[in-house]
Amino acid sequence: MKRQVSIGLAVVLLAAVVVAIIIGSGDDTPEAGALTTVRGVGGSEKAAYFADQRVVAAFAKHGLRVELDSAGSRQIATTVDLAPYDFAFPSSSPAAQRIQRDKKVTTVYTPFFSPMAVATFEPIVELLRGRGAVRKGPGDYEVIDLAAYLELSASRWDQLPGNTTYPARKNVLITTTDPRDSNSAAMYLAAVSFVANGNAVVSSPEAEAKVLPAMGKLFLDQGYTQSSTEGPFEDYLAAGMGKTPMVLIYESQFLDRQVRGDTRPAMRLLYPAPTVLSKHTLVPLKGQGDQVGRLLTSDPDLVRLAAEFGFRTSDPKAFQQVVAERKLTAPADLVDVVEPPSYETLERMLDVIGKQYR
């Protein structure tokens, strides 16, 4: 009798296991062991996005585990060994064009982009507004006029007449990253060189020679610079106006930290006039790299999550919805946007400036 009970119990347990397997088979997410690992290298400003568990889960639904190593866009295009990677994901189209050309890749993806911006503080905004360097843009946002800024950059803060707000004994300079390594510094050079070149893209050796002396001072007069925008932006968030009155960042970084509640009421975001767009461009190299590019561009969950991290996406509505829901101040459109110089021109200028550090 006991043997019959044991057999009956075993049958019930076996049936339960079978039912559990059948129910479990309805889950679209593959087991961890069934995921295909896809490796990429990209800018550090995208690291938090790829590490987010919702992004991880969205890729897992397609059978992928995506791992991203961080490196500067210039490094990715010139010195990083791309052999181990399935895709490269620099933060600028010039760097992507170099990789695309070197690796003979025909297809690239630009799933999201971010305009360059300047994170600062309300007292600095008021001070610069009084000097004609800050004004209202065509929408509900403020711009820092780069022509006026370039004139002020030759002065120290404490030399500005009537300045009791921030009488610091250092030059009126936007803090950037190291131009030898970082894409954001290259984008800054693209914008300020456009203004210094009479509002024209630098496109000849003669134009390069004309603007480079002034451009070099904008970087070297800062002193020590970090290799990633995360560094000076964290200084801005933590140390405040005293150390970092103005810092060049990606718009997405500021909006992301606003969403997370890491900014304070006195913190402000200015858009350079003109500004440039940092176009995060994925270059598939092998394996499933192409699938990652396609998913980032087309998968609704991945697009929506990119917008939540402050990126402007291939679907403008996704970004605008996040801005409206979170009550963020970000223009739907930016009017004063210029293109960067060609990769070769930008590299030559950066190399000349880089040599001045030695």
Q: What is the pLDDT of residues 140-158, one digit of tens each?
A: 789 999 999 999 999 999 9
Predicted structure pTM score: 0.85
For residue 209, is it within any domain? yes
What is the mean predicted confidence (pLDDT) over 74-96?
A: 93
For residue 168, is it within any domain? yes
Domain match, 96 and 183 both:
no
Q: What is the pLDDT of residues 156-171, one digit of tens each?
A: 999 999 899 999 999 9
For residue 142, is it within any domain? yes
Instruction: Provide the pLDDT for residue 266.
Output: 95
If you average pLDDT over every residue of the chain, what do you get?
A: 89
Which residue intervals of 88-182 are DSSP H helices?
Answer: 93-103, 122-130, 146-152
What is the mean predicted confidence (pLDDT) over 49-75?
A: 95
Domain match, 95 and 170 both:
no
Residues 6+ apart with CB under 8 A from 95: 73, 74, 76, 77, 183, 281, 343
Domain match, 209 and 264 both:
yes
For residue 8, is it within any domain? no
How many structural domains is the chain composed of? 2
Domain match, 59 and 99 both:
yes
- The CATH number for 146's domain is 3.40.190.10
Instruction: Provide the pLDDT for residue 23.
Output: 34
Radius of gyration of the CA atoms of the chain, in A? 25
For residue 147, is it within any domain? yes
Domain match, 249 and 285 both:
no
Domain match, 160 and 219 both:
yes
Domain match, 102 and 147 both:
no
Domain match, 49 and 38 both:
yes
For residue 134, is it within any domain? yes
Cβ contact 249:117 at 8 Å: yes
Percent of the chain scored above 70 by pLDDT?
Answer: 91
2, pLDDT greater than 60: no
Q: What is the pLDDT of residues 51-61, one digit of tens each?
A: 999 999 999 99
For residue 310, is it within any domain? yes
Percent of the chain scored above 90 by pLDDT?
Answer: 76
pLDDT confidence bin for 73, thresholds 50/70/90: confident
17, pLDDT greater than 70: no
Domain match, 173 and 211 both:
yes
Q: What is the pLDDT of residues 266-294, one digit of tens each?
A: 999 999 999 999 999 999 999 999 999 99
What is the mean predicted confidence (pLDDT) over 17-24?
A: 36
Select from 49, 42, 1, 26 the least CA-distant residue to 308: 49
What is the mean predicted confidence (pLDDT) over 314-333?
A: 89
Instruction: Provide the pLDDT for residue 15.
Output: 40
Domain match, 49 and 119 both:
no
Instruction: Provide the pLDDT for residue 30.
Output: 58
Instruction: Provide the pLDDT for residue 16.
Output: 40
Residues 6+ apart with CB under 8 A from 310: 114, 250, 251, 252, 253, 254, 255, 256, 258, 259
Domain match, 178 and 222 both:
yes
Q: Structural domain of residue 176, as residue ranges?
A: 115-277+336-355
Q: What is the pLDDT of residues 186-244, one digit of tens each?
A: 999 999 999 999 999 999 999 999 999 999 999 999 999 998 888 899 999 999 999 99
For residue 78, is it within any domain? yes
How many residues appear in the chain? 358
Instruction: Provide the pLDDT for residue 12.
Output: 39
Domain match, 272 and 341 both:
yes
Structure tokens at 346: 């930008």
